[in-house]
Chain A
Amino acid sequence: MSSIPAPAGEVAGKSDDRLDPPGFEMTIDQADLAAQRAEIDRSCRWPVLFFYGSATAWLLVGTVLALIASIKLHSPTFLGNISWLTFGRVRPAHLDVVAFGWASMVGLGTLLWLMCRLCRVPLRYPAMVVLAGVLWNVAVTAGTIAVLAGQGTSIEWIEFPMYCTFMLFISFALIGLWAMLTFGTRKEGHVYVSQWYLFAAVFWFPWVYASVQMLVVIAPVKGVPQESIHWWFGHNVLGVFFTPMGLATIYYLIPKVIGRPIYSYYLSILGFWSLALFYNWAGAHHMVGGPLPAWLVTVSAVASIMMFIPVITTAINHHMTTYKSFGALQYSPTLRFVVFGAMMYTLVSFQGSLMSVRIFNEPFHFTHHTIAHAHIGLYGFYTMVMFGAMYYIVPRLTGREWASARLIRVHFWAASIGIFAMFVTLTIGGVIQGFELNQASEPFNKLVGQHGLLDGTIKFFEGFKRQNGAVSFIDVVRDTIPWLWIRSGTGILLFIGHLAFGWLVWLNLSGRGKKRTGPTLFRTDPKGYAIATGR
C-alpha cells in the first residue's frame, strides 16, 4: 500500500531504488531493477507472510492477556479464582506473547524481506526459514501454556521453561545462518545502514540469549550477579534486538516512501557505532540502590547518558529526512506509522537515559512510571514502526491492496492515541506512586479532595520533601487505582486498533483485498504529492 510508487513490476520502473546519497550511486537500468524487485518479492512471499500472519495472531492473543492483567490491577477479584489467570501468570504471559510472539516474529519477517531487498538477492532456502518460523511458533505456544500453568521461571523476559528457550535458540540460529548466507551472496556491494543494524541484531541476540540461559537458568552463577546478567539481557533484548530492527526499518522506509535519501549518511554511521558501544553497557541501571556493587550501576548510568549520542544523531537523521516531506503524512499510512514510531523512539530514549540517573531512579523505580516507559518503547516506537512496515510490505507480497483506508485510519488513531494516553496516564500514576512511596507529606487523594485537582497537585509537589511523615503503603495503592482504571481504558482503545488491523491482515492474506492497482492511501493525492511519483 502506501507510499512508494508501486510494487515492483508495475509502474515502479520509474522509481529509483537507491537509498544512498549521490556519491554512492551507480548507473543501473531501472527496468532491470524493477524486475529484480519483483523477483525478490515473489521469493519472499510465503516465508515472510508466514511470519507476519503468526505475528498478527500473537498480537491479538497478547492484547487479550494484557487487558486481563490490566483489569486485575484495579479489580483484583475479576477472574480471581482461576489459577491459570492469576495476575502473576497472566502478566508474564502477556509480556512473552507480545515480545516473542508478536514483536520478534514481525521483526524477523521484516528482517527477511529487508535483507533480500538490500542484498539484491531473492530469498534462498525458504524451507529453512519456514522451519524456523514453525519452531518459533511451537516454542511460544508451549512456553505461554507453561507460564499460564504455573511453570514459568519468574525471571522477567525469560519466563519460558528451558525446552522452549532451546527451541527459540535453534530457530534463531537458523535465521542467523540464513542471514549470513544471504549477506555472503549479496549482489549489492554497498552495505546500507539498515543492514548494519540487521546484521548486528542477528549477531548479538543469540549471544545475549545464550549467556542469560547458561548463567542464570541452566548453570546459574551464585547470588546477585544473576540479576546483573539478567538485566544485561533484559535491557539488551530491547537495545540490541528490537531497537536495531526498528531503526533498520525506519532507515529503509522513510527514504523509500518520500523518495529522498536520508539526511546525513555519516550521522547514521556515528549513530550505529555509538549505539553499539553504549547500549550494551546500560543494563545494570535497573538496579540503582540495589544489592550490587556500586561501580556496576554507575558504569551503566554513564552508558545510559552516553546514549544521548546515538539517539540525537538518529533523531536528526530521521526527523530531518521527514521534515521536508511532512505533508506526505496526510497520504501514506506507512509513513504515518513509521514517523510516529521514530518520534516515540526519540521520546523514549531521552526518558530512558534520564531514568538511569539516581536522582530520577530512586523515586520512580518500582512504579508504573517504568511500565509507561516500557510501553512507549516497545509499542509507541517498535510496534508502530512494524505496523508501518507491514502496511508497506504485505501488498507487495500478496499482490493485493488493503481493503479499506478507513480501517487503517481507525487503526492508526486508536493505536497512537491509545499508546500515548497510556504513557501519560501511567507516568502520572507512577510519579504520584513514586513520590508517595518516598514519603510525600500527605497522600495525593486527600490533598486533591481538600483543595481541588490543580491546587491539590501543587500542594502535593510542594509537600514533597525527604523524610516527612510517611504515607502508608495502602494510601499509595489507593492513589494509583484511578490511573490504573484509565489505563485499562487506553488498553481497550489499543484492542480496537488491533481488531481493525487483524481484520485488514486477514482480508489481505485470504485474498479478499482489492486487486492491486496502486497503494491504498488515506486520501487521494490532489497535489500530485511526491509520494505519488516516488521522487
Chain B
Amino acid sequence: MNYGPLLFLGAFLTFASAWLGLVFFPAHQLKDLQPVTVEASAETHPRAYSGEELQGRAVYISEGCVYCHSQQSRGGMYLADEQRGWGRRSMPRDYIYDNPVLLGTMRTGPDLVNIGARQPSADWHLKHLYNPQKMVPGSIMAPFGFLFEMRKIEGEPSPDALRFDAGWTADDGAPAAGYEVVPTQRAKALVAYLKSLDHTYELPAANGAGQ
C-alpha cells in the first residue's frame, strides 16, 4: 500500500486551511486600520512614537520586559483588568504603530498598556528601574542597575542625576558623598517609552473586534 501521495495531499490541505484561517484572514481583515481623529478634541489616536520612544521600545525588547509584563487590557466576564485601573479593553487599532506587537503572555508584573497614564513621573520610573524593591517593597522585578552609572561628581552635578531622599542607604544603591547616579541614554529612552504607553483615549470599536 502506498500512502505517500495521500499523506502528502492530506497534510497539505489540513495545514493550508489553518494557514488561511489563522494567518491570512486576520491580517487581511485588519490591514486597513488607520488612526482616528476625535471630533470634539481634534486629537488623533493612536499617535506614532517619537524617535526617543522608539529607542526606548528597543531597550524594552532587548531586556525582555515582555516576559513579565503584558500590554493588553482584557475584556470579558471578569472585568478585573479595568477595575485594577489598567484601562479600557484594548483594541486592534491601539497597536497599529507597534512593531513587533508586544501583547505578552505573563503577568508576573502588572500590565503596562497604560503605565504612562497611571504613573507619569519619570523620576519614579528611573528610581524604580534602579532599585524596584526599594520603590515597591515585596516586588520581584529584576533590578536594572546596569542601565545607570555611578560616578564621581566632577564640577557641576549632572542635571540628570537621580535625587534620593534620606530613606535611601548605601545598600539601596544611594551614592556616597561626592558621587552621583546618572541614568544612561538607554534608561532615559526606556522611561520615555514607558511614559508614552497611554491608551486611555476613546476609540470607535474596530469592526469585528468586540466580543
Contact = CB atoms under 8 A, between A and B. Distances in A.
B138 A437 contact: no
Interface stretch (B77-85, B158-166, B175-183): B77-85
Given A222-B30, A437-B80, A470-B84, A291 B64 contact: no
A228 B23 contact: yes
B208 A289 contact: no
Interface in A197-233: 199-200, 203-204, 207, 211, 215-217, 220-230, 232
B110 A293 contact: no
Interface string B33-50: 100000000000000000
Nearest to A240: B15
Nearest to B72: A290
B117 interface: no
Contact of B30 (A91, A189, A277, A293): A293
Interface in B43-100: 60-68, 70, 72, 74-80, 83-84, 89-96, 98-100
A283 interface: yes
A189 B12 CA distance: 22
Nearest to B61: A154
B157 interface: no
B138 A478 contact: yes
A467 B79 contact: yes
Contacts of B68: 87-88
Given A224-B103, A281-B18, A215 B211 contact: no
B63 to A, nearest CB: 5
A170 interface: no
Interface string B8-27: 10111011011101110111
A200 B7 CA distance: 8
Contacts of B140: 73-74, 76, 477, 481
Nearest to A69: B67
Interface in A427-461: 437-439
B10 A286 contact: no
A288 B81 CA distance: 13
Interface string B148-174: 000000000000000000000000000
A280 interface: yes
B90 A89 contact: no
Nearest to A361: B76
Interface stretch (A294-302, A342-350, A494-502, A509-517): A294-302
Contact of B64 (A89, A221, A232, A296): A89
Nearest to A214: B23
B140 to A, nearest CB: 5
Interface residues of B, number: 81
Contacts of A286: 105
Nearest to A207: B15
Given A229-B23, A358-B77, A474-B139, A224 B30 contact: yes
Nearest to A296: B26
B62 A152 contact: yes
Contact of B92 (A150, A200, A224, A273): A224
Interface string B122-158: 0000000000110011111111111000000000000
A466 B139 contact: no
Contacts of A156: 66-67, 105
Nearest to B111: A366
A153 interface: yes
B153 to A, nearest CB: 22
B30 to A, nearest CB: 5
A363 interface: yes
Nearest to A199: B7
A284 interface: yes
A292 interface: yes
A86 B59 CA distance: 13
Contacts of B8: 203
Contacts of B1: 189-191
A81 B148 CA distance: 10
B211 to A, nearest CB: 4
A215 B27 contact: yes
Contacts of A365: 105
Contacts of B142: 72, 76, 80, 86-88
30 contacts: A80-B145, A82-B146, A86-B63, A86-B64, A89-B64, A154-B61, A154-B67, A191-B4, A199-B11, A200-B7, A203-B11, A217-B100, A220-B100, A222-B96, A223-B30, A228-B22, A228-B26, A229-B22, A273-B10, A290-B90, A291-B95, A370-B106, A371-B106, A466-B77, A466-B78, A470-B84, A473-B84, A473-B110, A474-B136, A477-B140
Interface of B: 1-4, 7-8, 10-12, 14-15, 17-19, 21-23, 25-27, 29-31, 33, 60-68, 70, 72, 74-80, 83-84, 89-96, 98-108, 110, 132-133, 136-146, 208-211
Given A88-B63, A296-B26, 11 more contacts: A80-B143, A83-B146, A154-B64, A154-B67, A273-B14, A293-B26, A296-B22, A300-B22, A359-B77, A366-B70, A467-B79
- In the A-B complex, list the 5 residue pairs whose CB atoms are closest, starting with the nearest: A88-B64, A280-B18, A289-B74, A366-B107, A225-B27
